[in-house]
Amino acid sequence: MVTLDKDEHILFEVRKHWFVLATEIFWGFVALVVPIIIFSIASSLPVVFQTSGNAIMLFLFLYTAWLLVVWMIMFVLWTEFYLDVWIVTNKRLIDIEQHGLFSREISTMQLTKIQDVTSEQHGIISTFMNFGELRVQTAGVEKEFVIKNVIDPNTLRKKLDDALSKIRNKESF
């Protein structure tokens, strides 16, 4: 995954809130049930559909293909959820972003270059479920690190600020 230096150790990891994955999985289960509802409604209609074979077998074949597609989409969503992570070490911030199954972007930022850490929560659900957005900005032209839907962004901002103050205090000596 990520190789750390000999004198580098992980302080903490940051992941997305479980509620994000739960809502995506909920919509996946809705997508699994909708064809059954449509077939049930269509079967109860007085209109007879003329097919050259058994309508139930055709539905089962198409529904099985649909299950496979929805399962693959849910697997990709879970993979992205599980593999998206921020790793904060005593030297740097490592941002690992998974895009699909076979694409990963890893970015690093030295903790000494961090100028601003911002946490945001928007909306009633994110406030009650305690998740939001965490942004880290440098003074230079480096990429702004943003992790959305993170668990308890205010506490994580404080933890990152504490780590930064410890590093800055060591440098001042």
Q: What is the pLDDT of residues 67-94, one digit of tens each?
A: 999 999 999 999 999 999 989 888 888 8
Percent of the chain at pLDDT exceeding 90 = 36
The reported pLDDT for the residue numbered 2 is: 76
Residues of the chain with CATH 2.30.29: 10-14+85-172
The answer on pLDDT for 31 being more than 80 is yes
* pLDDT mean across residues, the chain: 86
The reported pLDDT for the residue numbered 27 is: 94
Distance CA 59, CA 78 (A): 28
Distance CA 125, CA 44 (A): 39
Q: Which of 171, 159, 134, 161 is nearest to 149 (CA)?
A: 134
**Contact (CB, 8 A) for 102 and 46:** no
Architecture of domain 10-14+85-172: Roll (2.30)
Q: Is the pTM of this model over 0.85?
A: no
Of 52 and 96, the structure prediction assigns the larger pLDDT to 96
Q: Among 16-25, 42-51, 113-122, whose mean pLDDT is lowest?
A: 42-51
